[in-house]
Protein backbone atom coordinates (compact mmCIF):
# COMPACT_ATOMS: atom_id res chain seq x y z
CA UNK A 1 0.00 0.00 0.00
CA UNK A 2 2.78 2.40 0.92
CA UNK A 3 4.56 1.55 -2.31
CA UNK A 4 1.41 2.30 -4.28
CA UNK A 5 0.98 5.63 -2.47
CA UNK A 6 4.59 6.51 -3.18
CA UNK A 7 4.19 5.73 -6.88
CA UNK A 8 0.95 7.69 -7.05
CA UNK A 9 2.55 10.67 -5.32
CA UNK A 10 5.45 10.56 -7.74
CA UNK A 11 3.12 10.40 -10.71
CA UNK A 12 1.09 13.30 -9.37
CA UNK A 13 4.26 15.31 -8.83
CA UNK A 14 5.38 14.68 -12.39
CA UNK A 15 1.95 15.54 -13.70
CA UNK A 16 2.14 18.79 -11.79
CA UNK A 17 5.22 19.92 -13.71
CA UNK A 18 5.51 21.46 -17.14
CA UNK A 19 8.68 22.20 -19.10
CA UNK A 20 9.62 24.60 -21.86
CA UNK A 21 12.31 23.32 -24.21
CA UNK A 22 15.18 25.33 -25.67
CA UNK A 23 14.11 27.46 -28.64
CA UNK A 24 10.50 27.65 -27.41
CA UNK A 25 8.30 29.82 -25.25
CA UNK A 26 5.74 28.38 -22.86
CA UNK A 27 2.04 29.25 -22.93
CA UNK A 28 -0.39 28.32 -20.16
CA UNK A 29 -3.57 26.64 -21.34
CA UNK A 30 -6.15 26.83 -18.58
CA UNK A 31 -9.45 25.14 -19.22
CA UNK A 32 -8.81 25.30 -22.96
CA UNK A 33 -8.00 29.01 -23.01
CA UNK A 34 -4.54 30.50 -23.53
CA UNK A 35 -3.30 32.89 -20.85
CA UNK A 36 -1.49 36.07 -21.80
CA UNK A 37 1.52 35.02 -19.73
CA UNK A 38 4.62 33.78 -21.57
CA UNK A 39 7.40 31.82 -19.88
CA UNK A 40 10.86 30.99 -21.17
CA UNK A 41 12.89 27.75 -21.11
CA UNK A 42 12.69 25.81 -17.87
CA UNK A 43 10.52 23.64 -15.60
CA UNK A 44 7.33 25.02 -14.01
CA UNK A 45 4.76 23.74 -11.55
CA UNK A 46 1.19 23.53 -12.81
CA UNK A 47 -2.17 22.20 -11.70
CA UNK A 48 -2.52 19.11 -13.87
CA UNK A 49 -6.30 19.12 -13.51
CA UNK A 50 -6.81 22.62 -14.88
CA UNK A 51 -3.66 23.65 -16.71
CA UNK A 52 -1.19 22.48 -19.32
CA UNK A 53 2.00 24.17 -20.51
CA UNK A 54 2.33 24.34 -24.29
CA UNK A 55 5.61 24.77 -26.16
CA UNK A 56 5.63 27.20 -29.08
CA UNK A 57 8.75 27.39 -31.24
CA UNK A 58 10.52 30.72 -31.76
CA UNK A 59 13.51 29.16 -33.52
CA UNK A 60 14.58 30.12 -37.01
CA UNK A 61 13.24 27.40 -39.27
CA UNK A 62 14.04 26.98 -42.99
CA UNK A 63 11.47 26.07 -45.61
CA UNK A 64 12.11 25.36 -49.28
CA UNK A 65 9.55 25.11 -52.05
CA UNK A 66 8.78 26.23 -55.60
CA UNK A 67 5.94 28.00 -57.35
CA UNK A 68 4.90 28.80 -60.91
CA UNK A 69 4.86 32.44 -62.00
CA UNK A 70 3.93 34.56 -65.01
CA UNK A 71 6.18 37.40 -66.10
CA UNK A 72 4.96 40.73 -67.45
CA UNK A 73 5.35 39.47 -71.03
CA UNK A 74 3.34 36.31 -70.23
CA UNK A 75 6.26 33.88 -69.98
CA UNK A 76 5.91 31.05 -67.45
CA UNK A 77 8.64 30.00 -65.05
CA UNK A 78 9.08 27.64 -62.14
CA UNK A 79 10.72 29.54 -59.29
CA UNK A 80 12.49 27.66 -56.48
CA UNK A 81 13.27 29.41 -53.20
CA UNK A 82 14.47 29.04 -49.61
CA UNK A 83 13.05 31.08 -46.76
CA UNK A 84 13.94 31.07 -43.05
CA UNK A 85 11.46 32.49 -40.55
CA UNK A 86 10.99 32.75 -36.80
CA UNK A 87 8.16 33.80 -34.53
CA UNK A 88 8.54 37.00 -32.55
CA UNK A 89 8.36 36.03 -28.86
CA UNK A 90 6.02 38.89 -28.08
CA UNK A 91 3.57 37.67 -30.72
CA UNK A 92 3.36 34.09 -29.48
CA UNK A 93 0.12 34.50 -27.50
CA UNK A 94 -1.73 36.28 -30.31
CA UNK A 95 -0.47 33.77 -32.88
CA UNK A 96 -1.55 30.81 -30.72
CA UNK A 97 -4.99 32.29 -30.10
CA UNK A 98 -5.73 33.35 -33.68
CA UNK A 99 -3.85 30.87 -35.87
CA UNK A 100 -2.56 28.02 -33.74
CA UNK A 101 0.67 26.12 -33.33
CA UNK A 102 0.77 25.30 -37.07
CA UNK A 103 1.10 28.96 -38.06
CA UNK A 104 3.88 28.30 -40.58
CA UNK A 105 1.80 25.86 -42.58
CA UNK A 106 -1.22 28.18 -42.50
CA UNK A 107 0.49 31.50 -43.30
CA UNK A 108 3.74 31.03 -45.18
CA UNK A 109 2.75 29.18 -48.39
CA UNK A 110 0.04 31.62 -49.42
CA UNK A 111 1.94 34.76 -48.40
CA UNK A 112 5.31 33.79 -49.86
CA UNK A 113 3.98 32.43 -53.14
CA UNK A 114 1.63 35.36 -53.77
CA UNK A 115 4.48 37.83 -53.10
CA UNK A 116 6.81 36.04 -55.53
CA UNK A 117 4.11 35.96 -58.22
CA UNK A 118 3.35 39.65 -57.72
CA UNK A 119 6.99 40.77 -58.04
CA UNK A 120 7.72 38.63 -61.10
CA UNK A 121 4.57 39.98 -62.71
CA UNK A 122 6.20 43.41 -62.96
CA UNK A 123 9.22 42.18 -64.97
CA UNK A 124 9.67 40.86 -68.49
CA UNK A 125 11.27 37.43 -68.59
CA UNK A 126 14.53 38.69 -70.07
CA UNK A 127 14.79 41.44 -67.45
CA UNK A 128 14.08 38.95 -64.69
CA UNK A 129 17.13 36.93 -65.75
CA UNK A 130 19.39 39.97 -65.80
CA UNK A 131 18.00 41.49 -62.58
CA UNK A 132 17.70 38.41 -60.41
CA UNK A 133 19.41 40.01 -57.41
CA UNK A 134 17.12 43.02 -57.58
CA UNK A 135 14.02 40.80 -57.72
CA UNK A 136 15.25 38.75 -54.77
CA UNK A 137 15.78 41.90 -52.71
CA UNK A 138 12.36 43.23 -53.66
CA UNK A 139 10.67 39.96 -52.65
CA UNK A 140 12.58 39.87 -49.36
CA UNK A 141 11.59 43.43 -48.44
CA UNK A 142 7.92 42.82 -49.29
CA UNK A 143 7.82 39.61 -47.26
CA UNK A 144 9.45 41.24 -44.26
CA UNK A 145 6.99 44.12 -44.37
CA UNK A 146 3.96 41.82 -44.69
CA UNK A 147 4.96 39.14 -42.20
CA UNK A 148 6.28 41.56 -39.59
CA UNK A 149 2.72 42.79 -39.09
CA UNK A 150 1.76 39.25 -38.11
CA UNK A 151 4.66 38.80 -35.70
CA UNK A 152 6.84 36.75 -38.03
CA UNK A 153 10.51 37.53 -38.74
CA UNK A 154 11.98 36.79 -42.18
CA UNK A 155 15.57 35.93 -41.34
CA UNK A 156 16.60 35.03 -44.89
CA UNK A 157 15.18 34.59 -48.39
CA UNK A 158 16.95 33.21 -51.46
CA UNK A 159 15.87 32.55 -55.04
CA UNK A 160 17.62 29.28 -55.79
CA UNK A 161 16.45 28.71 -59.37
CA UNK A 162 14.36 30.26 -62.14
CA UNK A 163 13.41 27.66 -64.73
CA UNK A 164 11.77 28.97 -67.91
CA UNK A 165 10.27 26.85 -70.66
CA UNK A 166 12.71 25.15 -73.06
CA UNK A 167 11.37 27.22 -75.97
CA UNK A 168 12.03 30.50 -74.16
CA UNK A 169 15.52 29.49 -73.00
CA UNK A 170 16.37 28.44 -76.58
CA UNK A 171 15.17 31.82 -77.86
CA UNK A 172 17.29 33.62 -75.24
CA UNK A 173 20.37 31.61 -76.23
CA UNK A 174 19.87 32.42 -79.91
CA UNK A 175 19.41 36.11 -79.09
CA UNK A 176 22.65 36.11 -77.08
CA UNK A 177 24.53 34.49 -79.99
CA UNK A 178 23.07 37.05 -82.42
CA UNK A 179 24.07 39.88 -80.10
CA UNK A 180 27.61 38.53 -79.82
CA UNK A 181 27.94 38.30 -83.60
CA UNK A 182 26.55 41.82 -84.00
CA UNK A 183 29.11 43.13 -81.51
CA UNK A 184 31.91 41.35 -83.36
CA UNK A 185 30.73 42.85 -86.66
CA UNK A 186 30.52 46.26 -85.05
CA UNK A 187 34.05 45.95 -83.68
CA UNK A 188 35.30 44.91 -87.12
CA UNK A 189 33.57 47.92 -88.69
CA UNK A 190 35.20 50.23 -86.17
CA UNK A 191 38.59 48.67 -86.95
CA UNK A 192 38.10 49.14 -90.71
CA UNK A 193 36.96 52.74 -90.22
CA UNK A 194 39.98 53.46 -88.05
CA UNK A 195 42.38 51.97 -90.62
CA UNK A 196 40.74 54.02 -93.36
CA UNK A 197 41.00 57.12 -91.23
CA UNK A 198 44.72 56.51 -90.66
CA UNK A 199 45.22 55.99 -94.41
CA UNK A 200 43.54 59.33 -95.14
CA UNK A 201 45.64 61.05 -92.51
CA UNK A 202 48.83 59.54 -93.97
CA UNK A 203 47.82 60.56 -97.51
CA UNK A 204 46.98 64.08 -96.41
CA UNK A 205 50.34 64.32 -94.64
CA UNK A 206 52.18 63.16 -97.80
CA UNK A 207 50.26 65.62 -99.98
CA UNK A 208 51.04 68.43 -97.59
CA UNK A 209 54.72 67.52 -97.65
CA UNK A 210 54.75 67.59 -101.47
CA UNK A 211 52.91 70.91 -101.53
CA UNK A 212 55.44 72.44 -99.12
CA UNK A 213 58.37 71.16 -101.19
CA UNK A 214 56.82 72.42 -104.42
CA UNK A 215 56.24 75.82 -102.90
CA UNK A 216 59.84 75.93 -101.68
CA UNK A 217 61.24 75.02 -105.14
CA UNK A 218 59.04 77.58 -106.79
CA UNK A 219 60.27 80.36 -104.54
CA UNK A 220 63.93 79.23 -104.50
CA UNK A 221 65.22 77.33 -107.64
CA UNK A 222 68.62 76.78 -106.06
CA UNK A 223 67.00 74.04 -103.98
CA UNK A 224 67.11 71.84 -107.10
CA UNK A 225 70.89 72.23 -107.27
CA UNK A 226 71.12 71.41 -103.57
CA UNK A 227 69.08 68.26 -104.10
CA UNK A 228 71.34 67.31 -107.04
CA UNK A 229 74.44 67.72 -104.87
CA UNK A 230 72.88 65.68 -102.09
CA UNK A 231 72.16 62.83 -104.52
CA UNK A 232 75.55 63.02 -106.41
CA UNK A 233 77.82 60.00 -105.91
CA UNK A 234 81.05 61.87 -106.72
CA UNK A 235 81.51 60.43 -110.25
CA UNK A 236 81.49 62.82 -113.16
CA UNK A 237 79.17 61.90 -116.04
CA UNK A 238 80.81 60.40 -119.14
CA UNK A 239 78.90 62.68 -121.49
CA UNK A 240 77.42 66.14 -121.00
CA UNK A 241 75.04 67.44 -123.60
CA UNK A 242 75.10 71.11 -124.48
CA UNK A 243 71.92 70.87 -126.48
CA UNK A 244 69.52 68.17 -127.44
CA UNK A 245 71.47 65.34 -129.10
CA UNK A 246 74.81 67.21 -129.17
CA UNK A 247 77.50 66.21 -126.68
CA UNK A 248 79.81 68.99 -125.45
CA UNK A 249 82.25 66.96 -123.39
CA UNK A 250 83.16 63.36 -124.01
CA UNK A 251 84.25 61.58 -120.87
CA UNK A 252 86.83 58.87 -120.64
CA UNK A 253 90.29 58.06 -119.43
Q: What pLDDT, in 10s, does the model give residues 154-171?
A: 999 999 999 998 877 666
Contacts of 70 (CB under 8 A, 6+ apart): 76, 117, 120, 121
As a residue count, the chain comes to 253
Work out the pLDDT band at 217, boundaries 50, 70, 90: low
Model confidence at 81: pLDDT above 80? yes
Model confidence at 7: pLDDT above 70? no
pLDDT in tens, 47-65: 999 999 999 999 999 999 9
128 in the same domain as 72: yes
User: What mean pLDDT do residues 172-199 have?
Assistant: 68
Calculate the alpha carbon distances from 64 to 58, 148, 164, 180 in Å. 18, 20, 19, 37
171 belongs to a structural domain: no
Closest by CA position to 41, among listed 22, 59, 55, 54: 22
80 belongs to a structural domain: yes
Global pTM reads: 0.62
- Total of domains in the chain: 2
231 belongs to a structural domain: no
State residue 198's pLDDT score: 83
225 belongs to a structural domain: no
- Residue 40: give the domain boundaries: 2-56
How far, in Å, CA of 159 to CA of 80, rounded?
6
State residue 247's pLDDT score: 57
Work out the pLDDT band at 93, boundaries 50, 70, 90: very high
6 belongs to a structural domain: yes
How far, in Å, CA of 94 to CA of 180, rounded?
58
Taking the CA of residue 156 as centre, how many other CA atoms within 13 Å lie in the half-sphere pointing to its CB?
11
State residue 160's pLDDT score: 97
133 in the same domain as 73: yes
Amino acid sequence: MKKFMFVAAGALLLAGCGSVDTGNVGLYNRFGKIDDQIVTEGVYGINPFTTSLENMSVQTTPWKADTNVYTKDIQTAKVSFNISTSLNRGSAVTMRKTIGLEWRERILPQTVESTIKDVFGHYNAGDAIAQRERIQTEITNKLRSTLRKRGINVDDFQLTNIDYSDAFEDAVEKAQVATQKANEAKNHTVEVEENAKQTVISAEASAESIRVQAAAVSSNPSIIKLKWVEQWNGVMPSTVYCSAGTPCVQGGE
